[in-house]
Amino acid sequence: MRRFIICNLLLALCALTFAQSDFDIANAAYAEGRYEEAATIYQALIDEQPDATLYYNLGNARFKQGELAQAILNYERALRLQPNHKDAQYNLAFAQSRITDNIVEQDFFLSAWARTVRNSLKEQTWFILSISLFILALVGLLLFLLSREIGLRKTAFHVAWIAVLFSLIAGLNAASLHKRDTLRSEAIITQGVVNGKSSPDRSGTDLFTVHEGTKVTIRETLGEWANIRVGNYEGWVRMQNLERI
């Protein structure tokens, strides 16, 4: 039994060393300008175990290759796993500044602010925060009910209702992120120029145009077609022209 455990530990160590070696090889290839080789290795490592750093590095490699849509896609995926990844945030903003599109997002500032707050933490972090605040609210409620000191009762009451409020907000953020990541309704246009059509067929009327790298929301799918929303526009595009985040 002891030998079995030692063998397993050695195998795990070897696997970890091999993975780190591949990561180093990819980094070296990137540093030497062999971006396709680096991207291939990063992708292979991602297929084994998705990681924010790997997605970020893959995005950098794709950007160096001039594949703007794939760069944006991988930066977005990095931020899904690590919302506070500063380098991914910066590079995503830079890559998005390079795309060409004639659609301007019309978004109410409070909605944009709420989405930014939601995306600032992971789903698991919001969930833990919600549970912790709810427990704090219960403690405050118990102190309010059991304490005889007026000052403590007032403090406990305010702590309780504030904790309940923020627990609810954290819970809603966790639920929203879970829905987003489960449905995977956000996608990146991967082709140069794509026309949004009025119906899911080639004969549909062209309603608007989106370009490579544009982020869209998938509303529904029908066969090889997806109904997307971007800005104030809605229309049908082929699934082959986009990739889910």
- The predicted-structure confidence for 19-54, as pLDDT tens digits, reads as follows 568 999 999 999 999 999 999 999 999 999 999 999
Does the residue 104 lie in any domain?
Answer: no
Which tokens go with 11?
A: 């195998």
22 and 91 assigned to the same domain: yes
Backbone angles phi and psi of 38, in degrees to 5: -60, -45
User: Phi and psi of 193, rounded to 5°?
Assistant: -135, 130
- The reported pLDDT for the residue numbered 12 is 54
Range of the domain at 53: 2-96
The per-residue pLDDT for range 199-211, each reduced to its tens digit, is 999 999 999 999 9
Domain stop point among 96, 129, 163: 96
Question: Is residue 92 located within the same domain as residue 6?
Answer: yes
Give 107's pLDDT tier (boundaries 50, 70, 90): low
- In a shared domain, residues 160 and 175: yes
In a domain, 36, yes or no: yes
Is 128 contained in some domain?
yes
Residues 190 and 153 in one domain: no
To the question of pTM greater than 0.85 for the whole model, the response is no
Long-range contacts of 119-126 (CB under 8 A, 24+ apart): 119/79, 119/83, 119/177, 120/83, 120/84, 121/83, 121/84, 121/173, 122/81, 122/82, 122/83, 122/177, 123/174, 123/177, 123/178, 123/181, 124/174, 126/170, 126/171, 126/173, 126/174, 126/177
